[in-house]
């Protein structure tokens, strides 16, 4: 253990001396949380709406008013010709067309049933989907107020089925921040470990250590412990920023979050270690790490829900450590999950860390 102490001490000295490493580790979580949370959210405002109102009834005007007053839509054009509206959509002057048929109000009042048509430019599928979601909310809201105030046929409604019960306030920050935090910690730790080790190989200091009686486990522990500690610090910094800037809910126990990070960090460290074992240069390590991390990040559930991936992808995703972390953070911070709720996740990560680090120790060669 004394040997490990000397190695850890050396590692900390190097981290403190490194002009880029420490800033990267402290500034990156802050900047990324701020930047990604503000920029990479799904909240869409000011969708350009082209209105084709063939009815021109009080009710149709009221509906258009609801749309423009919602804050999500702004009226880009108003026309009586559907083809003109199509051109507007094609030229990207508008994102959506709201077409109200001539008998809109009459049908509603008489038959208790009417329809509108919404057309969205779905090149940006998520934008279109969200626009539809907002519209659905507005129409449903509108139809329920109209039917109670206008004395229409009982049970009158506008046919527009869409369900968007999810995140009604559309506060994506609360949803994104915990995920991003997990992703950043995972990424930085994995990268730093891989690069740090390969750097020692490049500098020749690894060879020097390899001719000493240092045991494999001592060497690996000497590397793991400092980066492990850093992961915890980064987590604390990130959570503080999330709390101060975004007021992200922290419903669950923070102790649980840190306890989990304690298990999760070694998994990412182990991956970094494993990559370094197969890399001769920092460049190789960068490419390999990037290959895996990109997949990890895109599939971690931060940007697309894991549940909607095809079954094979979900199976594959069991190898993605970041996915566990993102799921955990959301469950605990937003929903207030307790250990009992997330223990499966705990065990998965623990197994993951054990296997990866086992492989790392096994493939680390003091001798070629």
CB atoms within 10 A of CB 262: 15
Q: Are 82 and 52 in contact (CB under 8 A)?
A: yes
Of residues 87 and 214, the one with the C-beta less far from other proteins? 214
Q: How far is the CB of 283 from other proteins (least distance, A)?
A: 18
Q: What share of the chain is helix, strand, coil (3-state, %, to 5)?
A: 70, 10, 25
Nearest to 259 by CA among 170, 332, 159: 332
User: Which residues pair with residue 78 across a beta bridge?
Assistant: 51
CB-wise, 144 or 208, nearer to other proteins?
Answer: 208
Closer of 14 and 314 to other proteins (Cβ)? 14
Q: 6 or 80: whose CB is closer to other proteins?
A: 6
Residue among 206 and 254 whose Cβ is closer to other proteins = 206
State in angstroms the smallest separation of the CB of 40 from other proteins: 36
Residue closest to 53 by CA, chosen among 76, 75, 33, 78: 78
Q: Going along the chain, which residue ranges are E strands?
A: 47-53, 73-79, 96-100, 113-115, 117-120, 157-159
CA atoms within 13 Å, Cβ hemisphere of 235: 24
Closest approach of Cβ 233 to other proteins, in Å?
A: 20
- Whether 52 and 85 have beta carbons less than 8 Å apart is answered as yes
Nearer to other proteins, 6 or 38 (CB): 6
Q: How far is the CB of 230 from other proteins (least distance, A)?
A: 17
CB of 25 to other proteins, least distance (A): 16
- Quote the Cα angle for 294-299-302, to 5°: 100
User: Where on the chain is the footprint of other proteins (CB under 8 A)?
Assistant: 2-3, 5-7, 9-10, 13-14, 17-18, 203-205, 207-215, 366-368
Q: Could you give the angle at which helices 172-203 and 321-329 cross, rounded to 10 degrees? A: 140
- Give least dist CB 239 to other proteins, A: 30
Are the C-beta atoms of residues 85 and 50 closer than 8 Å to each other? yes
In angstroms, give the least distance from the CB of 366 to other proteins. 7
18 or 70: CB nearest other proteins: 18
Phi, psi (degrees; rounded to nearest 5) at 351: -60, -45
């Amino acid at each position: 253990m004394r040997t490990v102490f000397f190695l850890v001490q050396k590692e900390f000295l190097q981290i403190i001396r490194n002009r880029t490493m420490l800033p990267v580790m402290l500034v990156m979580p802050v900047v990324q949380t701020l930047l990604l949370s503000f920029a990479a959210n799904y909240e869409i405002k000011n969708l350009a709406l082209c209105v084709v109102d063939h009815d021109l009834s009080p009710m149709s005007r009221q509906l258009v008013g609801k749309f423009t007053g919602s804050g999500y839509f702004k009226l880009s054009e108003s026309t009586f010709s559907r083809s003109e509206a199509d051109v507007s959509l094609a030229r990207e002057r508008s994102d959506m067309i709201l077409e109200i048929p001539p008998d809109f109000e009459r049908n509603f009042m008489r038959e208790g049933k009417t329809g509108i048509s919404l057309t969205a430019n779905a090149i940006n599928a998520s934008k279109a989907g969200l626009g539809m979601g907002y519209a659905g909310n507005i129409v449903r809201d509108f139809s329920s107020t109209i039917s109670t105030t206008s004395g229409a046929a009982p049970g009158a409604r506008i046919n527009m089925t869409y369900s968007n019960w999810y995140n009604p306030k559309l506060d994506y920050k609360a949803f994104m921040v915990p995920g991003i935090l997990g992703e950043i910690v995972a990424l930085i730790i994995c990268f730093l470990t891989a690069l740090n080790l390969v750097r020692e190989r490049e500098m020749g200091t690894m060879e020097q250590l390899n001719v000493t009686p240092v045991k494999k486990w001592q060497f690996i522990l000497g590397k793991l412990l400092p980066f492990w500690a850093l992961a915890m610090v980064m987590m604390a910094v990130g959570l503080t920023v999330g709390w101060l800037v975004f007021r992200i809910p922290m419903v669950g126990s923070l102790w649980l979050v840190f306890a989990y990070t304690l298990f999760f960090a070694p998994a990412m460290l182990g991956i970094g270690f494993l990559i370094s074992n197969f890399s001769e240069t920092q460049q190789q390590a960068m490419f390999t790490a990037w290959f895996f991390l990109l997949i990890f990040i895109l599939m971690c559930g931060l940007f697309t829900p894991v549940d909607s991936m095809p079954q094979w992808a979900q199976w594959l995703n069991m190898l993605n450590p970041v996915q566990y972390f993102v799921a955990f953070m959301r469950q605990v911070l937003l929903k207030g999950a307790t250990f009992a709720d997330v223990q499966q996740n705990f065990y998965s990560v623990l197994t993951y860390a054990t296997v990866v680090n086992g492989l790392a120790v096994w493939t680390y060669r003091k001798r070629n």
